[in-house]
A and B are shown apart, each in its own frame.
Chain A
Amino acid sequence: MVSPSTSVGRTSSPHKSNHKKLVTSLLFLLPSWILLLIFFIGPILLTFYFAFTNLSLTGSEAQATQFVGFSNFVNMFQDPNFRISVIKTIVYLLFSAIVGQQILGFILALLMKEKNPAFRRVIGIIVIAGWVTPEIVVAFCWVAFLNDSGTLNMILQQIGLKPVAWLFTFPMTSVIIANIWHGTAFSMLVFQAALDDVPKSIEEAAVVDGASRFQVLYKIVLPMIKGSVVTNMILVTLQTLGVFTLIYAMTGGGPGTSTQTLPIFMYNQAFVNYQLGYGTAISLILLLIGVLVSLLYLKSMKVKV
């Protein structure tokens, strides 16, 4: 479809043809832009609008939605449940995304570096199996493993230990482990690619100069793959910030509020309490947190994107 324009480009003057190319490309871009506008930018603008209304799924407000100014946000900051959710979100993010997926992913990638390709393939497939499994299936597997009469408790009983109600005694730990199991493969792949790009000669030079293995890793390799680290950090953070299915299916945000992260809190307000406006306001805060955290990473790592 694009071939006519390129053949023209070869024959006419470069300046003029470039201009023409631009128009043609823009023309081709137009459908995507229109769709992006309708399905992406439109909803975001609507989110901004609804966050300032008392939009509701049912009840009189569903019929007569009113502009309520900042009252959704005022309520949110007075709501102890919101504060709890922010804390739960940070804990979840810290342990599942940053500590868990990043560090575990990096260690895996490091251990597999320059190992036998067959070994790499086998381990890689095992780790990636967690990643390709749909979130809801991951949740189901972990519930089957951790519930009162689940696999783990059966094993414990076999060896004479008392069963533990894992999902109720350690709910946050359970969902964090499940998410690490699910997401580590992504970090591992990113780090594998980055580590493979570090020239061997540099490392060897450093070793010759008397650097220890740890020094090579810390002073040479890590700075060289900083860009990948930050990109991976942002992607993993944003992905983890939005995790809903896994937690909702495993614990429903409970017991009590112990795994009620912001997405769960938002869902509960919007679709259980029927307060769509309030839920939208929470989603806006979630968006804001995502942007802030990403900027923080970029700033602290001094990486330009």
Chain B
Amino acid sequence: MRVKSYKKLAAISVITGSVLFSSACSDANSTSGSKKSGDSNTISITFRDGGGTNKGLTDWLNNDIIPEFKKEHPKANIKLSPISASEGDYFAKVALMLKSDQSAPDIVTEDTFMVNSDASAGYLEPLDDKLKGWDEWNQYIDNVKNGVKAQDGKTYGVPFNTDSRGLWYNKELFKKAGLPVPWEPKSWDDILTAARTIKKKDPGVIPLWMNSGKATGEGTSMQTFEMLLYGTKDPLYDEGKGKWIVNSQGLLDTYTFIDTIYKEKLGPNLSQVLNGQGGTIAYTQLMPKGKLAIGLDGIWQAGNYRKDGPAPWPDAFKTLGYTAMPTQNGEEPGQTSMSGGWAFSIPKKSDNKDLSWEFIKFISTKENNLKLLLKENNLSPREDVSKESEYLNLPMFKEATEFLEHTHFRPSVDKYPSVSTVIQSTVEDVVTGKSSPKQAVENYQKNVTRVVGKDKVIER
């Protein structure tokens, strides 16, 4: 009996052992398959795609860039390794990829708010020495250059786009409701008045859409919360003191505005807006169908309505207006905006930094950058591109470029991404009625203090 059970045990051990071994081996094989070949002519480039995201960037790389680059570097082999993920997951995946020699790509596209954080983590290669010898760097707008600088003062990326945010509105719905066109709101109250009027005159229409949930990630922090907060007297971060402002009238007023929108039902249904696809639905379905009156969002939404965009709409810009976001009570300078953008960075663990840099220089020339922006519908980080008539003729680009005059950039502090997620969850709590604006400020204070440390926060 005992012999038999030993036998059984031994047999089971051997089987599980060999299964585990073989699975371990096959794992090693599969990772080595995706590993960089190590040959000096291959570079891989990682960006976010899937679900129509970055279609412009992908097209541009495949059709405009790679064939041209190969003419200059016949041996070069450019491998695209896109990540299909939601915005929030993209950054986590990139961070994990950059950690390891095995998986780090040679070029990665980073949202500029992550550059500082990933640079502080030691994932990215400083580019200062390379930039010194590159005569086109002085064409880049200073503000945008600051966005790719980390706390150590070094530059970690070459921006390829930037953006600005404002209020999209449907002129026809405004006229129908008896509201002035063109619309130039002077304060938050003007926005609320317009939204209330729409609700009263046209109950089937959603008066105002702003990203309000955790699922829309950075879109909630930047397009909604910061667009409001930076219109008050209290920004997110005190640059002079180097501290986060965790309790201020501005914070309370911001949460109160958001609360008012949902309490008075001036916004969309929660099931629509708390969805990761919410923004897409708002601008590709509701807006063209005349079901949405006002939307607080970025210039890139204009790209939806192009002939080859996700929701072609030839008359879009006869119907739609794009106006600046006012400050809270019309304080100087009367309007506000937020800007971000994306950059090409070279990971520290890239094994082909020289060719990667050649590639970045090539794709960042005036001609190539212009080609990208015409496809992407984003603003250019280069001054010379912004003056091109082809660029200025893009619908709403004149307005969006004007917003840049009074725009703000997110604090370039490595803790920003974590603070941003606190913003998203507190906003969702207010929207769902889980906490009052006052409680939201308290939660914000508590959680931000935990994330950044007690010595890095102040109250106002």
Chain A positions within 8 Å of B7 at CB level: 2, 6
Known contacts A35-B20, A79-B447, A254-B214; is-contact A1 B121 (Cβ 8 Å): no
Query: Which of B21, B24, B121, B432 has most chain A Cβ within 10 Å?
Result: B121
Judge whether A242 is part of the interface by a CB distance below 8 angstroms: no
CA distance A21 to B10 in the complex (A): 10
- Bound CA–CA A32/B118 (angstroms): 39
A147 to B7, CA, bound (A): 54
Query: Taking CB as reference atom, which chain B residue is nearest A61?
Result: B121
List A contacts of B422 (CB < 8 A): 273
**Cβ distance A271 to chain B, nearest Cβ, rounded Å:** 5
Among B49-57, B64-72, B89-97, B296-304, the one that faces the other chain is B89-97
Verify B123–A273 contact, CB threshold 8 A. Answer: no
Chain A binder among B73-81, B177-185, B246-254, B268-276:
B268-276
Q: Does B134 contact A (CB under 8 A)?
A: no
A101-132 Cβ-contact flags toward B at 8 Å (1 or 0): 00000000000000000000000000000000
Nearest-neighbour CB distance to chain A for B99, whole angstroms, equals 8
Identify the closest chain A residue to B272 (Cβ).
A148
Q: A255 touching B274 by the CB < 8 A rule?
A: yes
Contact string against B for A residues 8-39, beta-carbon threshold 8 Å, 1 for contact and 0 otherwise: 01000000011001101100111110010001
Contact with B270, one of A17, A56, A168 (Cβ below 8 angstroms): A168
Given that A1-B14, A59-B414 are contacting pairs, would A21 and B91 also be in contact in the complex, using a CB cutoff of 8 Å?
Answer: no
Q: Which of B122, B272, B421, B432 contacts A273 (CB 8 A)?
A: B421
- Are A58 and B10 in contact (CB-based, < 8 A)? no
Chain A CB within 8 A of B343 CB: no
B429 in contact with A39 (CB, 8 Å): no
User: Given the complex, which residues of A lie within 8 Å of B272, measured CB to CB?
Assistant: 148
Contact A31 B3 (CB under 8 A): no
**Known contacts A35-B17, A272-B421, A25 near B6 by CB under 8 Å:** yes
Beta-carbon nearest neighbor of A57 in chain B: B95
Within 8 A of B (CB), among A244-284: 252-258, 268, 271-275
Indicate if A75 sits at the interface (CB-CB under 8 A): yes
Q: Which A48-69 residues have C-beta < 8 A from chain B?
A: 56-63
Q: How far is the CA of A35 from the CA of B434 in the complex (A)?
A: 47
Nearest neighbor of B213 in chain A, beta-carbon distance: A254
Q: Which residues of A contact B117 (CB under 8 A)?
A: 58-59, 274
Are B121 and A79 neighbours in the complex by a CB distance under 8 Å? no
- For window 1-40 of B, CB contacts with A under 8 Å fall at 2-3, 6-7, 9-11, 13-14, 16-18, 20-21, 24
A167 at the interface (CB under 8 A from B): yes
Bound complex: CA A255 to CA B88 (Å): 17
What mask results when residues 419 to 435 of chain B are scored 1 for a CB within 8 Å of chain A, else 0?
00110010011011010
Contact of B13 among A31, A81, A254 (CB under 8 A): A31
Q: Are A167 and B271 in contact (CB under 8 A)?
A: yes
Let me know if A80 is at the binding interface, CB within 8 A.
yes
With a cutoff of 8 Å between Cβ atoms, the chain B residues found around residue A18 in the complex are 2-3
With A and B bound together, what is the CA distance between A109 and B382 in angstroms?
71
Bound together, the chains give a CA A147 to CA B429 distance in angstroms of 21
A58–B6 CB distance below 8 A: no
Interface centre among A6, A56, A62, A147 (most CB of B within 10 A): A62
Q: Is the pair A60, B6 in contact by a Cβ cutoff of 8 Å? A: no
Residues in B whose Cβ lies below 8 Å from that of A79: 446-447, 450
Q: Does A165 belong to the interface (CB within 8 Å)?
A: yes
Question: Contact: B432 with A29, CB < 8 Å?
Answer: no
Residues of chain A contacted by B443 (CB below 8 angstroms):
80
Beyond A35-B21, A168-B274, A272-B92, is A25–B418 a contact (Cβ under 8 Å)? no
Interface residue total, chain A, C-beta cutoff 8 A:
48
Q: Which residue of B lies closest to A21 (CB)?
A: B6
Nearest-neighbor residue (CB-CB) of B418 within chain A: A273
Query: A9-B3, A79-B447 known; A63 and B17 CB under 8 Å?
Result: no
Asked if B386 lies at the interface with its beta carbon under 8 angstroms from chain A, I say no
Q: Enumerate chain B residues within 8 angstroms of A61, measured Cβ to Cβ.
A: 121
State whether the Cβ of B415 lies closer than 8 Å to any Cβ in chain A.
Answer: yes
B271 touches A21 (CB 8 A): no
B421 A21 Cβ-Cβ under 8 A:
no
- Asked if B120 is at the interface (CB within 8 A of a chain A CB), the reply is yes
Asked whether, in the complex, the Cβ of B121 is within 8 Å of the Cβ of A60, the reply is: yes
Residues of B within 8 A of A75 (CB): 450
B114 at the interface (CB under 8 A from A): yes
The complex places the Cα of A1 from the Cα of B13 at a distance, in Å, of 12
Among B118, B122, B418, the one with the most A-chain Cβ atoms within 10 Å of its Cβ is B418
* Bound CA–CA A31/B18 (angstroms): 8
Chain A, residue nearest B215 (CB): A252
Separation in Å of the A11 CB from the closest CB of chain B?
A: 13
> Are B3 and A254 within 8 A (Cβ)?
no
Chain A residues, CB < 8 A from B271? 147-148, 165, 167-168, 255
Q: Are A6 and B123 in contact (CB under 8 A)?
A: no
Instruction: Verify if B394 is at the interface (C-beta below 8 Å from A).
Output: no
Check B450–A25 contact: CB distance below 8 A: no
Contact residues in B for A271 (Cβ distance below 8 Å): 89, 92
A254 and B428 form a contact (CB under 8 A): yes
Rounded to whole angstroms, the CA-CA distance of A129 and B89 in the bound complex is: 32
Nearest-CB distance from B191 to chain A (Å)? 24
Beta-carbon contact of B417 and A274 below 8 Å: yes
CB pairs A–B below 8 angstroms (5 shown): A18-B2, A32-B13, A60-B120, A63-B122, A168-B274
> Measuring CB to CB, which residues of chain A are less than 8 angstroms from any residue of chain B?
1-2, 6, 9, 17-18, 21-22, 24-25, 28-32, 35, 39, 56-63, 75, 78-81, 147-148, 165, 167-168, 252-258, 268, 271-275
Q: A30-B13, A58-B117, A78-B446 are in contact. List 15 more A-B contacts (CB 8 A).
A: A18-B3, A21-B2, A31-B17, A31-B21, A58-B120, A58-B414, A62-B95, A62-B122, A79-B447, A258-B432, A272-B88, A273-B422, A274-B92, A274-B117, A275-B418
Identify the 6 closest CB pairs spanning chains A and B, nearest first.
Answer: A31-B17, A62-B121, A28-B10, A256-B432, A165-B271, A60-B120
